[in-house]
Homo-oligomer: A and B are copies of this chain.
């Protein structure tokens, strides 16, 4: 067996703890000494496992981006399905990822700008592609007569806004689960649009 550690590898622990700290205090305002203290070790020791502070942020952001992308591809794989169905699946997938990684999601939304080039540009490109995907899906639905809205681009914006805003109000102990939130979001966002 390889490193079948009982819990998480030290590197994974660092990522996890850093994610929580970056979320609460922000990337720039979180020092390596704070992170080390939260892990119960000294600051220098962290560098036995990582190369730099930014590497942690990079991993947090792009790992989540991968999850969002995979969910999107999965949800829209069946291009013959009704657009409303694809859209609902995409929303559900997004919410599921969001809720399964609340801290990472908040970091993903706010701290990506501290990435330096070329990671910064790559991240923006990924995010833009994701947003365009939603926008075009909605536009396709409108063109097909499945959805109705006076301004598809605007509808996409409010949808994405609701998704982006979610990690800042969602509480794991709330009464709504992932599926219910996704359902309610889809209903509300499509309710005014779908026929």
Name A residues whose Cβ lies closer than 8 Å to a Cβ of B: 25-26, 28-29, 110, 113-114, 149-151, 154-155, 157-158, 160-162, 164-166, 169, 184-185, 187-189, 191-193
Contacts and interface: CB of A to CB of B under 8 A. Distances in A.
A188 B184 contact: no
Contacts of A187: 150
Contacts of A161: 158, 161-162, 164-166
Contacts of A165: 157-158, 160-161, 164-165
Contact of A110 (B29, B110, B114, B160): B110
A188 B26 contact: no
A27 to B, nearest CB: 8
A151 B114 contact: no
Contacts of A158: 158, 161-162, 165, 185, 188-189
A138 to B, nearest CB: 12
Nearest to A157: B169
Nearest to A176: B154
